[in-house]
Amino acid sequence: MVLCRTSLVVASLFIGLIVSRPALAQDMWDWHIYGGTIVDGTGQEPYQADILIRGNQIGYIGKVDPDTLRVQKRVEASGKIVSPGFIDPHAHGNPLETPEFRNFLAMGVTTILLGQDGSSPAVGSLDEWFEKVGEVRPALNIAVLTGHGSIRSKAGAGRKNPTEGELQEMEQLLRTDLKAGAFGMSTGLEYVPGLYAGQDELERLAEVVGAHDGVVMSHLRSEDDAEIEVSLDELAAQGKYAAVHVSHLKVVYGKGVERAEEILDYIEGFRKKGTRMSADMYPYSASYTGIGIVFPDWAKTRDEWKNALHKGPEVLRSYLTDKVARRNGPASILFGSGKYAGQTLKEAAGQEGLSPVDLLLEMGPQSASAAHFVMDRELQDRIAVGKGVMISSDGSPTMRHPRGYGSFAKVIRYYVNEKEILSLEEAIHKMSGLPARTAGLTGRGTIATGHKADLLIFDPEKVSDRATFENPHQEAEGFGWIMVNGQMAREGGTFMDKRWGRVLSRSAR
Ligand SMILES: [Zn+2]
């Protein structure tokens, strides 16, 4: 009898297998990825499994009998990692101009979040922009935030506190965008016009974002060592209403591991009080932005600068002298656009026979962008491994900074392979599952049945970033197989002509 019962159990187990297996065998699958080690984006330990894909979705993860399987194409992934495509929570670029986005794809990025630093991607309505982007069909997925600065300008608030009417107009514009599919709002509080926004305005808008379950991503009021805590306080206040996120977390002029830990603890403190606060960072110790960043608030625009010169340049000259010195001197500003692209401020000034500050006075705040070597590597490295900190590029296809071509590959090459301060699964979590959860990208960022098939197949030892400050537009290497929405964007190292990305809409979930 015991034997009988055992065989009954065996039989029912067998029936269970038969029930699930023929379902696999009878279905026609598009792709069978076999023999690979899965790092699924959640941060959990890697495991061995096959993956079956049909249409744009992951249909099955587990053991598969290849003999009974009906499948269009197979990819052997033995000895390789299969991971989710990376998600860049702070990216720049114009899909209508550069829909190929090879810089991102080559470093494993299959989804980017645009509309950063207070600037919406669309000048007109977001609906229309989505339609246009859908028509050009970008090579990767595009999600967007509404730019606070853009709605502020549209509402006519200019460089002052908005009136109640203007504020209501801003709320309405924001609501319209969130309904159209934006994932939240970005602020650029170090730039015009974001720097004119006060606490009341930001909290009112955060309330609208929260009501739509979105996120407020912020280029903080200041990233300077002495002002970072106050800037985080300001963001945390908006955290009463919505999830908040620090874009490209850095401590300009700050130094050392201890300072990084202070900042990470400070953020953790808000989390302990119930604020949903996260951050992203790019793995380089130079920032990249307009040279207006070294000009004072009263001389950020062309008119203000001209006015300041007109009144006599002494006050502005002494401000710039002090600021450039504090930002590690004129050799630490490397122009990336304009007349002096590729030269440092020191070199350009030497060529013109001027002092560096006099050259800046002559150029004005709006004349060029530059890489600014203002960060401490040890401090930034500690931030990279911090809890709730994810990786971004803050880059674009055209920007002259290596981060737009190297960031995600550099994390694997430098933090995982060389420094060994992140495990591969932690690094991948920071580049896929964590940004997906933070931005509200459901159904992406982790490998799970029913999720969209944005996947990478690669050997982590072979991943490398090749972009440098001298040659910033060199594609990363090592991601030979890249799948976007169930279609191969790159197969065995060769990029496909067809583009498979789509516009992601928060409201269409
Ligand atoms: Zn920014």
Distance 247 CA to ligand 1 centre (A): 6
Same domain, 387 and 252: yes
User: What digits encode the pLDDT tens for the residues 177-189?
Assistant: 999 999 999 999 9
Distance 456 CA to ligand 1 centre (A): 28
- Asked if residue 296 is part of any domain, the answer here is yes
Q: How distant, in Å, are the alpha carbons of 287, 299, 336, 360, 362 from that of 320?
A: 18, 11, 20, 8, 12
What residues are paired with 53 via a beta bridge?
31, 58
Same domain, 300 and 406: no
Q: What integer pLDDT is reported at residue 24 of this predicted model? A: 73
The residues near 238 (Cβ < 8 Å, ≥ 6 apart) are 202, 203, 206, 216, 218, 244
Distance 92 CA to ligand 1 centre (A): 10
Q: What integer pLDDT is reported at residue 21 of this predicted model? A: 54
Name residues of the chain where pLDDT drops below 50.
1-20, 509
The token duo for 207 is: 């309330």
Same domain, 188 and 297: no
The token duo for 166 is: 């203007």
What DSSP letter does each residue of 88-149 carry, written as one string? Answer: ESS----TTT-TT-HHHHHTTEEEEEES-TT--S-SS-HHHHHHHHHHH--SSEEEE-EEHH
3 state DSSP class of 484: strand
What residues are paired with 47 via a beta bridge?
38
Same domain, 347 and 415: no
Q: What integer pLDDT is reported at residue 123 of this predicted model? A: 83
Distance 439 CA to ligand 1 centre (A): 17
Residue where one domain finishes, among candidates 400, 428, 451: 451
Same domain, 191 and 316: no
Distance 117 CA to ligand 1 centre (A): 5
Same domain, 277 and 315: no
User: What digits encode the pLDDT tens for the residues 390-400?
Assistant: 999 999 999 98
- Asked if residue 432 is part of any domain, the answer here is yes
Same domain, 185 and 295: no
The count of structural domains within the chain is: 2
* Matching residue, tokens 């932690």: 426
Q: What are phi and psi of 40, to 5 degrees?
A: -85, 0
Per DSSP, 509 falls in state -
Q: What integer pLDDT is reported at residue 15 of this predicted model? A: 41
Distance 290 CA to ligand 1 centre (A): 11
Per DSSP, 445 falls in state S
Same domain, 343 and 250: no
- Asked if residue 16 is part of any domain, the answer here is no
Distance 194 CA to ligand 1 centre (A): 12
Residue type (1 letter), 195: L
Name the percent of the chain in helix, strand, coil, to the closest 5: 40, 20, 40
What residues are paired with 54 via a beta bridge?
57
> Residue 206 belongs to what domain range?
85-287+374-451
Same domain, 190 and 334: no
Residues within 5 A (CB) of ion ligand 1: 117, 219
- Asked if residue 150 is part of any domain, the answer here is yes
Distance 313 CA to ligand 1 centre (A): 29
The answer to whether 143 touches 441, Cβ cutoff 8 Å, is yes
User: Nearest 5°: CA angle at 109, between 477 and 257?
Assistant: 85
DSSP run (H or E) holding 152: helix 148-154
Distance 287 CA to ligand 1 centre (A): 9
Distance 471 CA to ligand 1 centre (A): 22
How many Å apart are CA 487 and CA 57, to the nearest integer? 10
Residue where one domain finishes, among candidates 371, 394, 419: 371
The answer to whether 458 touches 478, Cβ cutoff 8 Å, is yes
Question: What's the pTM value of the predicted model, to 2 decimals?
Answer: 0.90
How many Å apart are CA 278 and CA 251, to the nearest integer? 16
- Asked if residue 439 is part of any domain, the answer here is yes
Per DSSP, 390 falls in state E
- Asked if residue 347 is part of any domain, the answer here is yes
Per DSSP, 203 falls in state H
Residue where one domain finishes, among candidates 322, 337, 371: 371
Per DSSP, 413 falls in state I
Distance 90 CA to ligand 1 centre (A): 8
Q: How distant, in Å, are the alpha carbons of 53, 70, 379, 406, 473 from that of 397?
A: 30, 40, 27, 11, 8
Give burial (CB, 10 Å; 0-12/13-18/19+) of 286.
buried
- Asked if residue 224 is part of any domain, the answer here is yes
Distance 25 CA to ligand 1 centre (A): 50
> What is the arrangement of strands in the sheet containing 369-372, beginning at the earlier edge strand?
287-290, 369-372, 333-335
Same domain, 137 and 265: yes
CATH of the domain at 267: 3.20.20.140
User: Up-side HSE of residue 302: CA atoms within 13 Å toward CB?
Assistant: 3
Distance 189 CA to ligand 1 centre (A): 9
Residue type (1 letter), 471: N
Same domain, 315 and 175: no
**Peptide bond just before 313 cis, omega within 30 deg:** no
Residue type (1 letter), 254: G
Distance 170 CA to ligand 1 centre (A): 21
Same domain, 174 and 221: yes
Distance 347 CA to ligand 1 centre (A): 26
- Asked if residue 469 is part of any domain, the answer here is no
The residues near 14 (Cβ < 8 Å, ≥ 6 apart) are none
